[in-house]
Structure 1
Amino acid sequence: MWFKRRSIITYTLLALFVYLSMKLTEFDLSKFRDFRNMIDFLSHWFPMDFSLLPKILEDSLETLAMAFLGSFFGLLIGLPLSFMAAKNTAGAPFVYHLTRVGLSFVRSIPEIVFGLILLTALGLGPFPAVLAIMFHNIGVLGKLISELIEASDPGPQEAMKAVGAKNWFASLFSILPQIWPNVLSNYFYRFEVAIRTSLVLGFIGGGGIGQRLFNDFKTFQYTAVSLDVLVIMIIVILVDFFGSYVRNRVI
């Protein structure tokens, strides 16, 4: 009986949250009744202007470079910090708690906020966008890798300490080989996310194909917009396939 009562309360609360969320977001499916405006709008997207393809591909490479550098430097800095944020390798409790708080703080700030701050301070372009992606990835990868470290087998580390190895040496060479496949898996996942993030950062002046898409939309160049969207879709699909392939190979 208590189970049924608990289920009724749960479903009632869920229905209430759904209703309140729909009211707050002005969720209204009746707005889809007339597609004529949408069809008329999309008709201006074609035919695509393929004369712009070389410049679009150049901007796409810039976007890929932004995502790669941001996630790579995030891993480069986040990896050593993750050892300081894991209970079994941090050493002093003060170091552990301070690093965890620092990583949580950096992780809690979205890339778009970092981007707005850095673009204001450093000017428009891809460099501030790379830093924005890097800072957020330091927090995310540092947290993810620290959890892998804490879940690793302590046996090899204790064996190395027993024969006189220093704490940092034992941690590095006994734990890192165990977790490395999962570290790479997490990195490639974050790289995929960074691709999408770099597109959004382009909307606020971060460069790449995201900025081109925003400018084309703003100037009503819809035949260019359609080609921008097509190239973005192809990039995201290819990166997703590549990331999945690498993760399946390393795990």
Structure 2
Amino acid sequence: MSWFRKRAWIYAAVLVLFTWWSMRKTEFEWENFKELSNAFVFLQERFLPGTWDIIPSLMDPILVTLAVAFLGTFIAFLIALPLSYTAAKNTTSNRFIYFFNRFFLSILRSVPEIVFGLIFVVVFGLGPFPAVMAILLHNIGVLGKLISELVEAADPGPQEAMKSVGAGRRTGNLFSILPQIWPNVLSHYFYRFEVAIRTSLILGFIGGGGIGQKLINDFNSYNYQAVTVEVLLIMILVIIVDLFGAFVRKKVI
């Protein structure tokens, strides 16, 4: 830590300089905060109160959004779980396979869902299927990276014990590591599921169906009170998924 203390002022200066540069590039000025009062007035006048009678008509788009998020993340999880073992150093003896899979996961992770969505909307047309594919591919990269790091950080003791009693390499890797990391794997999955719900909302803006498509249509037609209800329903859906994920993790742990 001594080397860090000696150079602390240099790091602080670089941080301050980078912060100043970022504020200049993004036009982050304190005068802009004075306009917040106007924004609050606009929200109060245009967005409140919501048109609550439209809730029954929003149930199907909400369920489509939930289905898109679930299917995309669940299939991604089923693919990423075995793939993560081939992208971890302690479970892959072949260096080529290790580096190839790490690179493959990085490629999928580096492409945002919105870019995948734009491509698949052109290929498959409008609807929820392009949104599912966009969420699926991106989350293979994200979950594969997260789970592979859990695999690498697992305690090697159980793995060595299983090998000592004659277990094969693959069997030993699976049954000695997976029980250790399973609670954290579930935690990562449910977090990505929450993110996917919000992502499916954005993908609806480009024709991915669900509540997002309804929201952008109402926004473009200045039906702001309907937008208020739709945003609140999305918030409630995310909270429900979060509570369900916490319940499952508690039962597993």
**TM-score normalized by structure 2?**
0.90
Trace 1:89-238 onto structure 2 (pairs within 5 A). Answer: 89-238=91-240
Moved more, 222-231 or 34-43: 34-43
Deviation at 1:15, TM superposition (A): 2.2
Deviation at 1:154, TM superposition (A): 2.3
> CA RMSD of the aligned region, Å?
2.1
Residue-by-residue CA offset, 1:113-166 (whole Å, 9 max, x unaligned): 111111111111111111111111111111111111122222333333333332
Could you say which residue in structure 2 is the equivalent of 1:10? 11
CA distance 1:136–1:5, change in 2 (3 Å):
same
Aligned length: 250
Moved more, 160-169 or 125-134: 160-169
Query: Does the Cα contact within 8 Å between 1:103 and 1:143 map onto a contact in 2?
Result: yes
Q: Structure 1 unaligned runs (5+)? A: none
Moved more, 155-164 or 13-22: 155-164
Q: Quick one: which amino acid aligns to residue 212 of structure 2?
A: G
Deviation at 1:187, TM superposition (A): 0.8
Moved more, 23-32 or 82-91: 23-32
Could you say which residue in structure 1 is the equivalent of 2:47? 45
Query: Does the Cα contact within 8 Å between 2:190 and 2:242 map onto a contact in 1?
Result: no
CA distance in 2, matches of 1:56, 1:137: 27
CA distance in 2, matches of 1:242, 1:29: 41
Query: Does the Cα contact within 8 Å between 1:188 and 1:247 map onto a contact in 2?
Result: no
Query: Does the Cα contact within 8 Å between 2:114 and 2:134 map onto a contact in 1?
Result: yes
CA distance in 1, matches of 2:227, 2:204: 14
CA distance in 1, matches of 2:94, 2:20: 49
Moved more, 233-242 or 56-65: 233-242
Tell me which stretches of 4 or more aligned residues in structure 1 moved more than 6 Å.
Answer: 2-5
Structure 1 residue 246 and structure 2 residue 228: aligned? no
CA distance 1:172–1:39, change in 2 (3 Å):
same
Could you say which residue in structure 2 is the equivalent of 1:29? 30
Moved more, 155-164 or 166-175: 155-164
Could you say which residue in structure 1 is the equivalent of 2:21? 20
CA distance 1:23–1:70, change in 2 (3 Å):
same
Structure 1 residue 72 and structure 2 residue 63: aligned? no
Moved more, 130-139 or 90-99: 90-99
CA distance in 2, matches of 1:37, 1:155: 58
CA distance in 2, matches of 1:11, 1:152: 35
CA distance 1:104–1:40, change in 2 (3 Å):
closer
CA distance 1:12–1:174, change in 2 (3 Å):
closer
Q: Quick one: which amino acid aligns to residue 157 of structure 1?
A: Q
Q: Quick one: which amino acid aligns to residue 96 of structure 2?
A: F
Q: Quick one: which amino acid aligns to residue 243 of structure 2?
A: F
Residue-by-residue CA offset, 1:29-87 (whole Å, 9 max, x unaligned): 32343534652454122332223111212211111111111111111000110111111
Query: Does the Cα contact within 8 Å between 1:185 and 1:250 map onto a contact in 2?
Result: no
Q: Structure 2 unaligned runs (5+)? A: none
CA distance 1:143–1:40, change in 2 (3 Å):
closer
